[in-house]
Amino acid sequence: MNTVRQISAFVGRWFALIVLVAGAIALATPSTFDGWAAQVPLLLQIIMLGMGMTLQPSDFAIIARRPWALLLGVAAQYTLMPLLGWSIAHLLGLSAVLTAGMILVGCAPGGTASNVMVFLARGDTALSVAMTSVSTLLAPVMTPLLVLLLIGEDLPVSASDLFVSIVEIVLVPVLLGLVLRLLLPRLIERVIDVLPLISVAGITGVVLAVVAGSSSTLLSVGLLVVLAVVLHNVAGLALGYAVGRLCGMPVSSRRAISIEVGMQNSGLAAALATVHFSPAAALPAAIFSVWHNVSGSVLASYWSRRPVEDAASREADLTPQ
């Protein structure tokens, strides 16, 4: 078991590089991964089951203790990122299919890796976990509504079909994982260190499938899509922090909101794009899967060297009296 934990820790540390290499392999030999796109929803179900196993009822206690912080964070998640995705796609003149992919990334709930990034950044980890959990549980309602609002006129999309897909891919596995954690706590505690390894394997499989299925599109407009994804993520991180500051949140909460808003469940976006649009629509999500782990790691590393107290005092010194 110690060996498995060491492998899991290694894979988690080099996650972004592993996914980047997987994408390069899929781009070089797309025919190797023919038919993988059909397995994307299953891979996401496994990842979401693992996420559910990491949850406990105590993770939701923050709803009663600090509802304002949680409501602010989730509201920022489901307004800033969808609007940024739509705006950046239109600003850069992306095709209707790629625009749909950008919007799907923006309308997805928070990414599962965000909790680790917030912890490393000395942010409010409890708020981060609660935001990820609540935004995920709200996804069956919020994601289809937002997608219908922002994409409906450009491409045919069924909100009811999206709802069913998200319930199957996200809600059922997460709730099943939570129930397993409650019924079999000792067993789950023994395997919980392996879950990051499973998540990395799942996301890597998603990237292989998406990049292979959209290799021609990536080769023709790859740099433009990369630029769109980088702008989307960086703007989300910056605006998430700004919203927390404007609303008087403490520095630790601002860091949590920033990372939660900027890091999306891009795997879910890729699955929905593949099922309801095309592999090309999943391309922004595949690139996002790599990039947001890089940017999140860099930001967490920077903030980890700035204690919350020092950051707060420096900001106070810069604020006009």
Class of domain 36-302: mainly alpha
Of 113, 105, 68, 98, which Cα lies nearest the Cα of 83? 105
Q: What is the dihedral of CA 274, 278, 281, 283, to 10 degrees?
A: 70
Mean pLDDT of the chain: 82
pLDDT tens, residue by residue, 146-202: 998 888 666 667 778 888 888 888 788 888 988 888 888 888 887 777 777 777 788
Residue 66 CB burial class (10 angstroms; 0-12, 13-18, ≥19): middle
234: confidence class by pLDDT, cuts 50, 70, 90: very high
Cβ pair 236, 261 in contact under 8 A:
yes
Res 321: pLDDT: 42
Instruction: Quickly count: other Cβ atoms within 10 Å of residue 198's Cβ.
Output: 18
Residue among 102, 130, 153 at smallest CA distance from 284: 102
Question: Averaged over 239-266, what is the pLDDT?
Answer: 92
Structure-derived torsion over alpha carbons of residues 105, 253, 64, 137, reported in degrees to the nearest 10: 10
Q: Is the pLDDT of residue 105 over 90?
A: yes
Cβ neighbors of 227 (< 8 A, separation 6 or more) are 92
Give the model's pLDDT for residue 288.
Answer: 87
> Are the C-beta atoms of 166 and 152 separated by less than 8 Å?
no
pLDDT tens per residue across span 22-71: 888 888 888 888 777 778 788 878 877 887 887 777 767 777 777 888 99
Main-chain phi, psi angles of 263, to 5 degrees: -100, 120
pTM assigned to the model: 0.80
CB contact set of 232 (below 8 Å; sequence gap of 6+): 81, 84, 85, 88, 102, 105, 106, 284, 288
Structure tokens at 142: 């919020």
Helix, coil or strand: residue 110: strand
* 292 CB-near residues (< 8 Å, 6+ apart): 111, 113, 233, 262, 263, 264, 266
Q: What is the DSSP string of 302-315?
A: HHHTS-HHHHHHHH
- For the purposes of burial, counting CB atoms within 10 Å of the CB of 254, is it exposed (0-12), middle (13-18) or buried (19 or more)? buried
Are 236 and 262 a contacting pair, CB within 8 Å?
Answer: yes
DSSP conformation letters of 154-186: TS---HHHHHHHHIIIIIHHHHHHHHHHHH-HH
Q: How many alpha carbons lie under 13 Å from residue 300 in its C-beta half-sphere?
A: 25
Strand ranges for the chain from DSSP E = none
Q: Mean per-residue pLDDT for 214-234?
A: 85
Our measurement of the distance from residue 229's CA atom to the centroid of its chain's CA atoms, rounded to an integer in Å, reads: 13
* Domain residue limits, the chain: 36-302
